[in-house]
Structure 1
Amino acid sequence: DLSNGSEAVNLGKPVNTEKDDFAFTFNEAKKVGFLSSNRGGNDDIFAVNPICGVDVMIVVTDAKTGAILANASVSILDDKKNVIATEMSNDKGEVKYRVECDRPYVVQASKDGYEGNSFAVTSSKGPTAKVDAALQPIDVIVTETEIILKPIYFEYDKSNITQEGAFELDKLVQVMKNNDKMVILAKSHTDNRGTDKYNLRLSDRRAKATAQYIISKGIDASRISAKGMGELEPKVDCGAACTEEQHAQNRRSEFLIVK
């Protein structure tokens, strides 16, 4: 529809080809179209189904001040958590993506100095949608001996870093980037349920996975070491009479400042 004065746009294959595509017609009532083309070697009639797309505008801001955040990394994921594309926000804090109608998407935004976060893009027919991606500034408690984060939880019997754990570890990464001489020891602890040997191995895997995540974010491996303590150093020494709350306090990660 060029009635509004806009210019025609070549959409490329398979919509427009280098062959002779002509005599396009579209039935508005039935939402179906036809065109003639020799793209198959002969002049044939092809059915045309309309493309429905939504232009999603993401605006990244500081959640506390409302300030625009340029150069933030913004990814869009489909409903199977596959990353479709990643771009940096412009000087207006904006990133624009074209997605399909009637499908849900998720936007992930991150920037140094801020907690990464995810934002839902609800399914719609568009033509536009806006996502306000407000990121919280990283606020970390740093004592003389320790960097204190929220608890880093793991799935039962697993050592992979969850998305929630990654958000917390990103805070540690930021502190280490701001203090390039800082050296950290990551210690992982379990509660006292299960055998000593099993808990020691599990906590060691978790501690090493934590350190590897930190290294993957650009921190030199010489600045972070990892040690699994199992149930050797409980925060609450409650023995066989631990409550669920005490067990939870003992299942913890610590980030000690070595240097």
Structure 2
Amino acid sequence: MPTLAVLTAAGSGTRLGLDVPKALVEVDGLPLVVHAARNLCASGVVDEIVVTCPAGLVDHVDLLLRDDPGVDRPVRAVVGGGTRQESVEAGLRAGLGRAAGTDSGTDSDAGAGGAAGVDVVVVHDAARPAASPDLVRRVVAAVRSGHVAVVPGLPVVDTIKRVEPGADGVGAERVTATVDRDVLRAVQTPQAFDRGVLQRAHAESVHRAGSEHLAATDDAGLVEDLGLPVHVVPGEVSAAKITTAEDLHLARWRAGHAATRDR
């Protein structure tokens, strides 16, 4: 059955200190959104991609991806939202052709986006452009094996302290505990979900979507709020998120290093 991917690319990228939206920032000569879309396609398990982006860039991103030889699946760009949660919801509406809260998957309910039969939805961020095709395959396979929500994650290697909120006059916070890092994972995208579960999770948390303070930072958190299990599969260092200028420098270094190694 078909798999839909929602690729969020609506971030402004202000923390990168550049004058272009984050999704259009280039690494190794290509915009981040193109890298991410190529890897989704190369996985072989994604059938259609909806990209959410700023309103003024919809036509540009749409043409950029449609003209790219490495994007060989149907793809379209739509307007994202003010929060990541709103953007994913917009992508679901566009890709599934119906309200995010309805979990029927019959052909008669399919919208213009070709939602007929979609049973798995992958949610990914253009800010993680180097997440590999194998990682996409891994999360989708885990959902198809019976898990309703699957995320990639890496073991936490730093020592983690729990503190009392609020620093004193010299900026010091009191430590209340050292957290067992063996049971912690740093979560990444792409994340994969049973279609009906993800639609229900968004429908039941729609009151949070418009607030930056309340909106979910990832879709797995919305599924957790339903009381349903979320499972973690091994992530990868290459799936690191690009948020700051330092992240971008590191991503460009890795891309250059990989190109040199492959010669």
Task: Bin the TM-score by the shorter chain.
Answer: under 0.3
Structure of greater Rg: 1
RCO higher in structure (CA 8 A, sep ≥6): 2
**TM-score, with normalisation over the residues of structure 2?**
0.24
**TM-score, with normalisation over the residues of structure 1?**
0.24
